[in-house]
Each structure stands twice: as C-alpha cells, then as structure tokens.
Structure 1
Amino acid sequence: MRLTVVGIYFRLQITDTLGVWVEGTHAFDPAAGITRTFWYRLPTEWVVNGAILQQRREMLVDRLYGPGWRNGNPDGSRYIILRVREKVLTDGEAAGKPWLAERGGFFVCAPDGAQREVVPSEL
C-alpha cells in the first residue's frame, strides 16, 4: 500500500548577514554571512512548472524575517540577503525524506497561507 502525501516539498536556503546603518547606507560584511535551511510542505497550487510562485516565496521570506524587515530594525540594522537557493523536490527526492538528516526550520503551509511549524517527522 502506498501512502499518498498531499503537497509539494520545498527547500529554501538563505544566506544573510546583518547590516548596520553607516553614513546613509547599510554597511555589511559578506564574509559574515550565515546560511540557514528551511523545509516546507506546500499546497500543490503554489508550484507552477516546477517552481514556486514568486509571490509565495516572498511571503515565506517575509514570515521568516518578520513584518517590515525590508525597512530595517528600530536600531538601524537590517538583514541583508546575500543568496537564496530554492529547490522543489521531485516525488523521488521527497520519498527519501532528506529533511530528516538536516537541521533547520520545518513548516507546513495551508492553501490560504496559514503556516505552522512542525517537527521533521511531521513534514
């Protein structure tokens, strides 16, 4: 008997660093970048032609950093995203459950955009 899983599995890796306000701009050191991995189970309609819709990816990033993050923090600092890597897993890749061997954040998203954090085995 085969277990049917509803949704698409998605890995989002973000490398960022914190910039500080110096003379009218956010200064930052790219060598201080940190890469974090986030795993998602997404509604199938969020993925078209093997890629997540841009507005949905932006929504996920906004949820990770918090409201207004693009404008910076009250202390003048701001996260600077250096690189975004994303991968929509094939059915074969998802069958291997690669997220079980990783550390990161694990989330399930509903079609209406509601998101809940889960433990890896619930993904």
Structure 2
Amino acid sequence: MIAFADHDAYIAAAPEALRPLLTLVRARLAQTLPDVDEIIRYDMPGFGSAGLIIAGYAAFSKQCGLYVSKGAISEYSDDIAAAGLKASKTGVTFSPSKPIPDELIAALAIASRRELGV
C-alpha cells in the first residue's frame, strides 16, 4: 500500500477521471472547514482537528467516497437519496456521472463537525 505525504500526492495517484472530482471535494471541504488541518489518516486524505477526522475522501477504480460521521449521514439521508447517490453508515459514493453536489458536501461536513464537537 502506498503511503501518501499529502492531499496533492493522493489526488495525483488517483485514476485520472476521478482527479477533478477529488479536487472539487477537497476545495469545498477546505472552504467549509477553513480552521481545521488537512490530514492523511488510514492512507486517505481528510480534514480534522483534535485528533478527529471530520471529513475524509477517497478514490477507488470507478468512484469516489466522502466519509463523515454517522449522524451526518443520517441527518442528510433524504438529500443523499435525492441526489441519486448511495450511502453507507459513514460514507457517500459518487462518480463523474453522478457527482456529489457542493451544497451536500458542505452540509455533511458541518453536520459531522457538529456531531464530533470540534
């Protein structure tokens, strides 16, 4: 497994078709969470504070994921479904053909931060 030094290295190593999505997710998270650190945990880029991961993102072969707290996923489950996206307990998957809306990225990050108390 590759250990990534930073978000730029992670995005550069992702499948080419997914890089624009990852770049947009990173930018939206940075805008929404300007006072937290960009981190790499579990070989995945994220944004965190006080040792907690507020939001993380990842690339796979054909899709990406945004990972937040369980409560954030629950709170926005209707919005996730309305966007035509699939969710697990802590993540939402999206792809170039079904991107995640900017507003949903921000809402999930804010809700995750609120739940984690950071």
Structure ID, larger Rg: 1
Into which bin does the TM-score normalised by the smaller protein fall? under 0.3
Q: Which structure has the highest strand share of the two? A: 1
Higher normalized contact order (CA 8 Å, seq sep 6+, divided by chain length): 1
Q: Which structure has the highest helix share of the two? A: 2
